Structure formats: structure tokens, C-alpha cells
Amino acid sequence: MDPNPPLPPPPPPCISSSTSQVLGKRKYDHQPTMLVQNQDRNSGGSAPQVLSSRLSTSRFSELLSIDTMSSKYPGIQPALSEPTSSLKTTTPTLRATFIHTTPHSIEVGRRPTIDRNHSQSLGSVVLGAHVPSVERPRPPANPPRPKRQNFRPSRPLQNSDQVYSDLWIHILSFCEPKFLLEAKTLSSDFYKLLAKNSIIWKKSRINHYGADMPDCPKGLTEQQYVDLLAGRGCQSRGCHVEGTFKVHWMFQVRLCPACFKKRTMNDNELARHREHRLPCLSENDPPPRDGRALWELLPLARTDGRREANSRHVNAETNDWALDRGRFAFLKTSFARLEDEYQKFRTSYPPDNGALMAWARKIHRETMEHMVEANKLESWSKEYTKTVQPPKNQARRQQKIGFFEARAAKMSPPMDRAILWKMAPFRRNLKGQSPTTNRVWETLWSKIEPYRWQAEQVEQFEQLMASDLIEDVPQVMLFRRLHEHRRGREAVPRSYQPEQKFVLQFAQRELARCLNDSVADEDILLLCLRNVFDAYNKLETPPIGLNFDGTTGPYRLSLDDARMIVEDVLEKMIPPHSVRGRVVFQSLRCRGCQRSDHIRTWSFVDAFEHILQTHARLVGEGLEYYQFAIPYPSRDLRGLLAEDGGAVFKFPWYTVLWPRNLPLVPRHQDVSQLGAWQPDVKTEFITLSGPLRVSAFQGRRPLQEKFADDEFALNFIHAAKTLNGVQLDGRCQMKIALKYALDLYAKKHPTEPPLSAFLESLDQLSTVNPAIELKFGCGICASEDHGSRTVQKSKQKKTMYALKNHWAASHRDSPVGWGQGMMDLPGEDEVLQQIMQVDKKLQSQKDALAERARKISTNIRKRPKSKSSVVLQMRLAAEVLDELFPRVMVQSYA
């Protein structure tokens, strides 16, 4: 039998009108089916062709594989050419072919096609031609899977910038305003998108603050409006304060207290020639008609002379100012522009009061409209702060409290709620914005679990102090026993125990040594106590006495010994109520108070009472104050004399061991830079360096600029402008600028310039350097230590024109000129000290910012500080001094 019998002829093609391509189950069970485009170019259908699956490829002149078909016929799904009429479809010589589409070709996106313009149609292929057998390429058995892309914040999507901007507008409108302020700094695309579409800011503002808030005020864009609402930091150019949030709506700006004081002024600070008034009109005329001052046409802030400033109220019925008390401040720059316009009307000839009042009414009407908006914004802001914002924060806080307390109760052993609240890390976490997750709890638990025993001690202390059975506590009974033993020093005459006398002798020797070494007054108290402690601990045979723990043996120092040294040795040598005594005894800082914006000093006794009430109630890493939480009598102790009325204690002085390192430092030390307090670790005592009695201008000469030497006012303004932005205070800047102008003037004139030249330059001074506040005390009166009440009053700061009147009335015949004695300015050595201090602080800030910038490059979570560029651009005071007073080069002749 022939192994290869001839094949039967194929059936005739079946033409169908279906246009759907069969890619799944076969339509016919006996033959494969495919769609071939209609042979008529103008018809839109396609016909299925039944092709033989057993047709040999050797009978074609070319191999019709997937690869050859795709490479030879690159057209996009062409139609097959119409076969010639001489060939019959029923002849066995014409065999249909099956165009096979593999999964590999579908995966890579290729599709076999046939060129419709090919010269040789499929029907005219020469059959029977021998073609070498070519093996069809097969797809790999296990094609490589594409690598999954990792999505990280540091590797954003490459096509993120191709997302439609309208989608970003919709997305960003649901973000908080605070995020939008940060988003515009992330990329240039966000910056452009947020700058062009104010609707984003408006929707975000309404979604976050509510639809009942006032609309965007006139003169502000939506972005500026949101910046005032949600932004932080002083908006004064050159100011480095970051935490300011107070918005002065009357000026539409956010200013820190220092910049507000620099950029505003009140009517008392105006010079006499700037006190302009409008003409008086009849009562029937619209306001302003009462001959008011020119500055009342400006937006005004009602101030109390310190930190508080609010918008002045407006009477809606009269469209004029309401009757408010207090002082009213206005912007210096706004008054200068208003004054220039006013002078144009006054200098016109003939004077036109009608045009002047028309201009004044227009300014007044615009100001009233502006102040009405400012009053609404202030009222809404106060209401939002009181009613809306606290509930949101309180809800977040309560959620954290409930979550942490529930997790603490499930720990083994469980932690009680009262113990949890004694943990400082727990309380710090409640103030933050971190979410309540299991990871946050695990981190918090690792910080509080090691201090469970200390927290239990503090909790027991509070319970005992609030109990009625406090007198039966062993620590309280020991306290009373020690009090009876040591209270003889309060009697008249005083009597001391042997161990007390021994300690007092040590203290007297160490105090005499400190005084002989000219130790600074701020360091005498703590340095004397440290020296006493160190010298006593070096003794090989200390005296025998009753110790703080109730044992009798080698005496160990307690905090009552330190209190005794302060009261019976130091206060006997230095009167506590004198000027020096206030520096010695009232200049102690607490190690637990880390705030740098508000520095409070204490006496020795008050400091330990403060520590017990504030810092000893919390435990945590670096908080060792819990050791002072020892029960003591809460009732009065019987004194030696009947008229004493007993003694009241607020600290367990007798039962607390004197630590090697006291939790107090002098006033001149920065507590935030000292780290955590460690009571048993000996640290170096940093004393206050003695003042440098060197003039800041020694070996220097003023550098002449484009103005002549005798142009006093111009040279003075030039120096003040150069000093603008330096971190020196106003008195120090005035000293440098005034000396610069006086030294140049002295080159050509043996006498001082007239006082009028100095007073005329003050108007321009407030513009070129707002840091110089034109309020000074009398220099001659300040140099007098004692005097009458009038002299004491003259030491107070007053305006320049009030100071001029005082100078003319009291010191006209003084041998000291006005340049040296009219204003209370720092000495030349004090100028050098202040330059060194501010430059040291500024350089440390720049170094910290540079270190932070280095860490930001490796940590995406960190953000640069908003005011970092301002700090980095600040000039050191020493550089400005070198510019105004360069050093004189001394040539040596060998």
C-alpha cells in the first residue's frame, strides 16, 4: 500500500458575509477558518476561506511563513488579489493556504499581511515548484517575562508629566492648601500649573475652610490669599523667622513682631514737618471733613504698644472710623507715598482745596472698603480658630489617645492609663501629625517600656502627696526628723550641726577664691557650689553626721547643704536685692526648659520647686528629674519661734542627695545646645568670658565713598543703608553709622555738624534701614547712676524730636556734644562684643543649613527650610564693618 496516497480535491470555497474574525473556537470542526478581505476593493466585507491544513509547502515557489509574510508584505491588512479566470477553483492543482497567526506574533504586535499591489497574485503562483524545506521558527517555550517596575517616591513614573492637566487640576483642587504651597516648589510643572489656574486654589480653600469664609479680598490673587491663610513664616524681605502665622489683614501681609515694629509707625513718631492735616469742611460734606490728620486716610492697625495688633473698626452707618481707643499704626512706605501725592496738591499754585478734598474722599472711600474686608476676615479667622480648628485637632488627639491606651492595655504586662500619661514620648506623639498605625505604636512602645519603673515611682509620689495619710509615709517621717536636726540655722542666734559647720567652711573658702579670680557675677553661685562639691568628695575622712537617708556615718551632701550655702554664705556676702545681687541670684536657667524664644531665669530655691512641679512628673530618655519626686510634708512645719508661723516646704530638700551635676546653668549658656541632663556625669563648667575692652574701630579708618567728607547727611544715610540686613540691634547700627559720618566730617571741620543736619536725614533713614528705631534715651542722663525722679524718667526711650527738646532744655551747655551724649548708644567695646556674638550665631545657623542640605540629598523625606536662602544670604557684621571701616595697613621699615 502506498504510504502517501493522493489527497482528495478540496471542496469549493464557501463565501460568507460575516465580517467578524474568528480567533477562538473553530467555526468548522473539519477545517480551520480564517478571514480574508473581500477581493473587491470597493466592498466593505470579508469572506472566510476554508484552507487545507495538509497542503504541502513544497508546492509553492516561496515559503508563506509568518516571518516571510511579515517581511515581504508589510502592508496593513491588504486584500488578496483576484485569481485569474483560467484557473478553476475545483482543479486539484489549486490548493488553498492557511495563514497562521501564532501567539508569538500577537504578543509582539505583528500581523501577517499581503501587499495588494504585488504583481503576482496568490492564484498565479506556480504550483509544483520545488522549494527547499525550511523549518518554521517557533517561539521560545518560556518567553522572558517583563521585569516589574518598582514604584517609589524617588522613582516616579516617566510619563507623569504627560497626564492631562485638567486631571491634575481636578486632583489638586481636593488637596489641602498647605500641600499646594509645598507642591509648587516640587517641580516646574506644578509651579506653572498652579500659577495659571487660580480655580485650584479657590476650590482647595473652600473645601478646607468651608464655603462660608469671606471671598478673596481686593488686591490679592487666590494664591496669595491661600498663602496668607495656610502659609508660615514672616513675609518681610530679609527676615529669617519661619514660625510666624499672624496675618495683619489691614496690610494684607504676614509679619513677625519685630518686622511689624520696623515697618510701621504711629503719629507720635512723625516729625513736625510731616504732621499734615486736611482742610476743615462743613458737617454736610461727606467724610473726611473734620480737618483730620493725613495718616488717617491709610489702613490702620490698633496696637497696645507691644505684640497685639488688630484692624481698626469701621462704622458702617457713617462710612468712617469707629471710636476706638489705643494707638494706631500705619505702614511707613504707604505714608511716604501718600505724603508725596499730598505735597503735589499743596505746592500747586493757586492751591486747589476742591481737588485736594476730591482726592482725599477717593482715598478715604477705598480705605473704608478695604478695612471692612479686613474686619470681616479678622472676625472669621478668630471664629474659625475657636470653633472649627480646635474640634478637628481635638478629634485627632482623642483618636490617638484611645488607640494608644487600648494597645497599652493589651501588652504583657499591661500598662495602666496613668502610667502611660507619665511618659514624655507619649505626650509628644499626641502633639504631632503622625497617623495612628501599628508601626507608630511599636516605635512608641520601644521608647516607653524601659521607663515603666520610673513612671510608677512618679505615680506613687502623686498619689501619696494627695492622700490624707501622707504623714505616715516613711519618707515624710524622715523629712521631719532631719528638719528637727538641721533647723538650728534658722534660730536666733543661729546654731549649726558639726557637719553643717564643716560644709560652711568649705563654702567660704571657695567663695573667696571665686571673688579673687574675678569670676563673672552670673557664674559665682553655680561655680562656688561645684567647687564645694568637688573638694568635699576628695576628702578621705569626711565628718560624721545624720545623712539624707536617715543613717549616721560619713556625711554625704544633700540639696539642703546647697541651699544653706546660698542663703548663709553667698547672700551674706552679696546683698540679694542689690543690682549685683539680682544678677548673681536671679540668673539661673533650668536645664529642662529648652525654649529659646522665651528665656526665664530663676533663683536657686524657685528653680528646684519649678523642676519638681514641671519636669519631675514626666519620664523618658534624657529625663532624670523623676529622682526629685520624693514625698515630703504638705503641711506647715513648726518653727522655732512662735511668730514664725511655721515653715512651708515645696521641695524635699533634706531627703534628696546632692547630684554631681546640678540641673541649672548660668543665664549666658544656651540650654538647647547642652543636650540631656545627666546627674552623675561630671561636665565642664563654661564660664562667661570677660568683656573685651577693645574698640571695634581700633586700627580702622572710614572709607570715603562718592560723597564728600563734609556731606554729613549723605554719608550717614550711606552707612545706614549698608548696615541694613545685619543682625545687630538698632542702637548698635546707629552707633556705627553715626561714627562713620562724624569721622568723615571731622577731616575737614574741627567741630561737630549741626544737629539740624542730623534731624533732616531721619526721614530718609526710616526708609533705607527700618531696623533703626528712632527712639533713644538720653545719653548723659543714662550715665548717671543716681538722680532725681526727673533724671530717671529722662532715661526712658523717647522719639527723636522729644529727645531734641530734652537736649535743648537740659544739656544745651554741656561740654559733651550731641553726637556723643544726646543718644544712649553702646560703647565701642560693646559694639565689638555684639558683632562677635551675632556673627557666631549666624555662622552656626549657616553651618546647620549646609549640613541639612547635605542630608536632604540622601533623604527624600526631608524638605529644605523655607527661609534657608535668606539666612545664607545674610552678611556677617564683621564684613560690613570692614566695608565701612577698613583696617589701616601699617608698613614696617626695616
Structure confidence at residue 131 as a pLDDT band (50, 70, 90): very low
Check pLDDT > 80 for residue 529. yes
Residue type at position 543 = P
3-state DSSP of 758-785: HHHCHHHHHHHCCCCCCEECCHHHHCCC
Cell numbers given for 889: 595697613
DSSP 267: G
**Does the pLDDT value for residue 647 go beyond 90?**
no
Residue position matching grid coordinates 541649672: 664
- Looking at residue 690, its pLDDT comes to 66
Range from 106-115, 167-176, 874-883 carrying the lowest mean pLDDT: 106-115
DSSP state of 270: S
280: DSSP letter: B
Grid coordinates given for 668? 549666658
Of the candidates 330, 269, 325, 260, the residue with the CA atom closest to the CA atom of residue 295 = 330
pLDDT at 674: 86
Does the structure show a pLDDT above 60 at 127? no
State the Cα–Cα distance between residues 374 and 382, nearest whole angstrom.
Answer: 12
Whole-angstrom distance, CA of residue 589 vs CA of residue 581: 16
Is residue 464 predicted with pLDDT exceeding 70?
yes
What pLDDT shows up at residue 122? 41
Q: Which three three-digit cell numbers place residue 321?
A: 472710623
How confident is the model over 453-466, as a mean pLDDT? 94
The yes-or-no verdict on residue 707 having pLDDT over 90 is: no
The CA-atom distances, in angstroms, between 612 and each of 421, 457, 463, 588, 591 are: 17, 14, 15, 16, 13
d(CA 24, CA 32): 11
Query: What torsion, rounded to 10 degrees, do the Cα atoms 518, 519, 525, 526 define?
Result: -150
pLDDT at 571: 93
- 478, 548, 631, 632 from 655: Cα distances, Å: 8, 5, 9, 9
Span 868-874, average pLDDT:
87
What single-letter DSSP state applies at residue 249? T
Beta bridge partners of 35: 48
Q: What are phi and psi of 440, to 5 degrees?
A: -65, -40
C-beta of residue 725 within 8 angstroms of C-beta of residue 872: no
pLDDT tens-digit series, residues 724-753: 989 999 999 999 999 999 999 999 888 889
> How sure is the predictor about 279, in pLDDT bands with cuts at 50, 70 and 90?
confident
Going by pLDDT thresholds of 50, 70 and 90, the confidence category of residue 112 is low
Omega within 30 of 0 (cis) for the link into 493: yes
Q: How far apart are CA 601 and CA 333, in angstroms?
A: 39
Residues belonging to the chain: 894
Quick one: pLDDT at residue 620?
Answer: 92
550-554, 781-785, 819-823: least confidently modelled range? 781-785
Which residues have a Cβ under 8 Å from the Cβ of 124 and sit 6 or more positions away? 83, 84, 87
Q: Check: pTM over 0.85? Answer yes or no.
A: no
39 closest CA partner among 72, 85, 70, 73: 85
Q: Are 96 and 50 in contact (CB under 8 A)?
A: yes
Other Cβ atoms less than 10 A from the Cβ of 807: the count is: 20
Provide the pLDDT for residue 26.
45
Point out the least confidently predicted range of 119-128, 253-262, 715-724.
119-128
Residue 109 confidence (pLDDT): 46
Share of the chain above pLDDT 70, in %: 77
Rg of the chain, C-alpha, whole Å: 45
DSSP per residue, 552-612: EEE---BHHHHHHHIIIIIHHHS-TTSHHHHHHHS-EEETT---SSS---B-HHHHHHHHH
> How confident is the model at residue 489, as a pLDDT?
87
Q: How far apart, in whole angstroms, are the C-alpha atoms of residue 451 and residue 464? A: 20
Region 665-688: what's the mean pLDDT?
87
Neighbour tally for 401: CB within 10 Å: 16
Taking Cα atoms as reference points, which of 877, 793, 886, 804 lies closest to residue 841? 877
**Looking at residue 238, what is its pLDDT?**
82
Is residue 426 pLDDT above 50, yes or no?
yes
Separation CA 33–CA 30 (nearest Å): 10
Strand-pair partners of 590: 664
Indicate if the pLDDT at residue 121 is higher than 50: no
Own/partner long-range contacts of 185-189 (Cβ < 8 Å, ≥24 apart) = 189/161
The answer to whether 543 and 496 have CB atoms below 8 angstroms apart is no
- pLDDT on residue 162: 60
CB atoms within 10 A of CB 141: 5
Residues 216-270 have pLDDT tens digits of: 999 999 999 999 999 999 998 888 888 888 999 999 999 998 899 888 988 888 8
Question: Out of 254-258, 854-858, 879-883, which region has the weakest mean confidence (pLDDT)?
Answer: 854-858
- pLDDT score recorded for residue 611: 95
pLDDT at 327 exceeding the cut of 90 = no
CA atoms within 13 A on the CB side of 668: 15
Question: Where residue 505 falls among pLDDT bands split at 50, 70, 90?
Answer: very high
C-alpha 712/C-alpha 744 separation (Å) is 8
Instruction: Give the single-character DSSP code of 106.
Output: H
Q: Residue 248 is placed in which grid cell?
A: 495683619
Give percent of the chain above pLDDT 90.
41
- 3-state SS of the chain: helix, strand, coil percent to 5? 45, 5, 50
Per-residue pLDDT of 558-613, as tens digits, reads 999 999 999 999 999 999 888 889 899 999 999 999 877 678 899 999 999 999 99
Cα–Cα distance, 200 to 193 (Å, whole number): 9
pLDDT, averaged across the chain = 80
pLDDT in tens, 338-358: 999 998 888 876 777 788 888
DSSP state of 290: B
Q: Taken in order 366, 371, 376, 377, is the CA torsion positive or negative?
A: positive
> Which position has the higher pLDDT, 144 or 47?
144
Sign of CA dihedral 186, 189, 192, 198: negative
Tens digits of per-residue pLDDT, 75-86?
444 444 444 444
Query: What is the C-alpha end-to-end distance of the chain, expressed in Å?
Result: 130
Closest listed residue to residue 364, CA positions, set 243, 268, 275, 278: 278
The answer to whether 10 touches 52, Cβ cutoff 8 Å, is yes
Report pLDDT for 89: 43
Phi–psi pair at 328, nearest 5 degrees: -120, 130
The 10 Å Cβ neighbour count of residue 515 is 13
Residues 879-893: what's their mean pLDDT?
79
Q: Match 472698603 to its residue by C-alpha cell.
A: 369
